[in-house]
Structure 1
């Protein structure tokens, strides 16, 4: 708890900044009638907190620069992907359509609550950046190298998964089919796997730092959100509705998250 008290002013500033940003995005949502912009807010807010932690931290400057660059580049790539793949190219995500229908004429007030409450998630996912930004060792360690290697692997893997899926979707002959190209033949959600793996980079970067336990929030919370809440359950529900038995066969033969050799039915 002493560690959290030490970081409290930074987290409070982050919450206030995120609240104002989500309020602005809510106004955009009112105008565009597309609540999907909330996903941009979360991603951009967490990336901004990584840069803020690097700037305000008291650890070794080169390590802080590395942390800020990793968090900032991760955020920028994902924001651009969300803009291109969801906001500019598609109608409102079905998750938010259902909420809009459920709330009816009170949708905008409820969306305001929904948007601004995301500020708490920005603060939650900012916690893993803090120990590494304040780690004092003034030299490069094996864990720093491991952190960078993990980040490079996860960024490269997520980009490759997104590229393979976009290429598959861009082929008209694949309409209605299930993507099994490349990484998608080893995991049903390789993009989510590498997103989850990415959070271990900040864990490695903080080994030996005070408050190291805060870095565990990253992979633990991301796994929970992907596996149980807003990630995989929604995507698989939509895939089953659109592709039916073809996707059920995919579920039976390909692991859900971690890439493993395909399963085979017993004869």
Structure 2
């Protein structure tokens, strides 16, 4: 692995992320809403992967897998958010703004997400500097990625269809993949990044990026993913029963009725 090249790549991608987030902020100011940054989350990873590919000249597989994941997520979120008012999270955050609201938004939203995005992408960048060729961990990682993208995409599709049916208004989604895990989309997201990490593990330096998928998994389970969603859903009729019988993250057979 070309360590010097990888370190240079990390600096170049950090600059690329900064540009992406500044553009996202400009678009947000023009639109008067900040939830577009959720769309940029997936797009930003795709940009990092493509920039890394151009700089390194290698890593076509890990680049393709990252771009596919990022574009699918960005399109899904944009289609979902485009039909909704501004995300209440960003409305509440901007009400706390002090000083210049645009600088406040950059610090509290765009810079934070940009740093996390760049750090989580380290396994992808490391894999792009692996010169030993594809091996067992490469294909194992691709297989894990495939499991993750299927869970994430199918889970999102099933939930969108469920919500589109007026007969399901106020009901809890407990069908399809949602019967086995309360968050197939978040489980799939985490699995994707563990798959990309396995690809990076072809070299011991890539294995050192283990904090990146751990950080992503933490946010999906304890931060803005599962935990935030369940706080918002907690008061809905039938949700407590759904929680009782359905695994919180890992897909497992649902508990039978009457068990605790």
When normalised by structure 2's length, the TM-score is 0.90
Structure 2 matches for 1:193-212, cutoff 5 A?
193-212=187-206
Contact 2:137 2:202 in 1 (8 A): no
Question: Secondary structure at 2:74's aligned position in 1?
Answer: helix
Question: What residue in structure 2 maps to residue 254 of structure 1?
Answer: 246
Question: What residue in structure 2 maps to residue 132 of structure 1?
Answer: 127
Please give the per-residue CA displacement for 1:40-59, whole angstroms capped at 9, x wherever unaligned. Answer: 2222112211222233336x
Alignment partners' CA distance in 1, 2:208 and 2:44: 18
Question: What residue in structure 1 maps to residue 255 of structure 2?
Answer: 263
Q: State the Cα RMSD in Å.
A: 2.2
Structure 2 matches for 1:53-68, cutoff 5 A?
53-57=52-56, 61=58, 64-68=59-63
Question: Secondary structure at 1:48's aligned position in 2?
Answer: helix
Alignment partners' CA distance in 2, 1:9 and 1:152: 30
Contact 1:155 1:198 in 2 (8 A): yes
1:69 partnered with 2:64: yes
Question: What residue in structure 2 maps to residue 219 of structure 1?
Answer: 213
Contact 2:181 2:252 in 1 (8 A): yes
Question: What residue in structure 1 maps to residue 32 of structure 2?
Answer: 33
Equivalent residue pairs, number: 257
Alignment partners' CA distance in 1, 2:189 and 2:167: 29
Question: Secondary structure at 1:211's aligned position in 2?
Answer: helix
Deviation at 1:213, TM superposition (A): 2.6
Deviation at 1:136, TM superposition (A): 2.0
Deviation at 1:162, TM superposition (A): 0.9
Alignment partners' CA distance in 2, 1:231 and 1:53: 27
**More displaced, 210-219 or 172-181?**
210-219
- Of 182, 190, 193 in structure 1, the residue corresponding to residue 184 of structure 2 is 190
CA distance 1:266–1:151, shift in 2 (3 Å): closer
Alignment partners' CA distance in 1, 2:98 and 2:163: 33
**More displaced, 68-77 or 45-54?**
45-54
Please give the per-residue CA displacement for 1:82-123, whole angstroms capped at 9, x wherever unaligned. Answer: 11011x111111211211233378543311212133221222
Query: Which blocks of at least 5 consecutive residues in structure 2 are unaligned?
Result: none
When normalised by structure 1's length, the TM-score is 0.88
